[in-house]
Amino acid sequence: DAGITQSPRYKITETGRQVTLMCHQTWSHSYMFWYRQDLGHGLRLIYYSAAADITDKGEVPDGYVVSRSKTENFPLTLESATRSQTSVYFCASSEQGSPHGANVLTFGAGSRLTVL
Amino acid sequence: LAKTTQPISMDSYEGQEVNITCSHNNIATNDYITWYQQFPSQGPRFIIQGYKTKVTNEVASLFIPADRKSSTLSLPRVSLSDTAVYYCLVGPSGSARQLTFGSGTQLTVLP
């Protein structure tokens, strides 16, 4: 099916382990984003990408690494997971040339990560 | 980037019209105003976008005064299924850099 998919949907890991959350979109959208959502904080931007091989930090990038070698994929890696990174992670994409412009994002279903 | 301010929560009853206002005092000339809706355990989804005056679609209306320093999302005759968090975003349509959502407004529709 076309759309934006995240995997895994649920993940439990331990402190210090490396975790990668995957995001794949089928629209060839230029922009892709990673947000985390915690109670009381709304959605906070971790990283975003304007195109393949172009990434930039958001509000809360510490402890995360991203890459974008292909337009359709935007993986998020926690190199050494900490308990404070327990959260729900949302990936999103948008396209500058779409009818409503680049700031209309389409979100994935989210990945719930628990770090023990 | 324009900072937005919304009420933290609002309650309404089924069948009523609900208006949620967002303040964005430092909105830039090329910024658009976009509203999202988020249900529990789901990602936000786009509701409506506007630049000035009034925009209406099948879901909601968006009212933007001439000075564009605020905007009001209007939901006609809400139902229980409209209970969600509503976010206001401000930014240029030609660039999606650093789109920040803030904490949004939790709308609770009561029977």
Q: Does A94 touch chain B (CB under 8 A)?
A: yes
Min distance A100 CA to chain B CA atoms (Å): 7
Provide the 3-class DSSP secondary structure of residue B97.
Answer: coil
**Would you call B81 exposed, middle or buried from its count of C-beta atoms within 10 A (0-12, 13-18, 19+)?**
exposed
DSSP A4-56: EEEE-SEEEE-TT--EEEEEEESS--SEEEEEEEETTTEEEEEEEEEETTEEE
User: Which chain A residue's Cα is nearest to B92?
Assistant: A103
Of B42, B44, B99, the CB nearest to A103: B99
User: Which chain B residue's Cα is nearest to A40?
Assistant: B103
Q: Does B103 touch chain A (CB under 8 A)?
A: yes
The per-residue pLDDT string of chain B (111 residues; one tens digit each, 9 = 90 and over) reads 568 899 999 999 999 999 999 999 988 888 889 999 999 889 999 999 999 889 999 999 999 999 999 999 999 999 999 999 999 998 877 666 667 777 799 999 999
d(CA A93, CA A28) in angstroms, rounded, equals 9
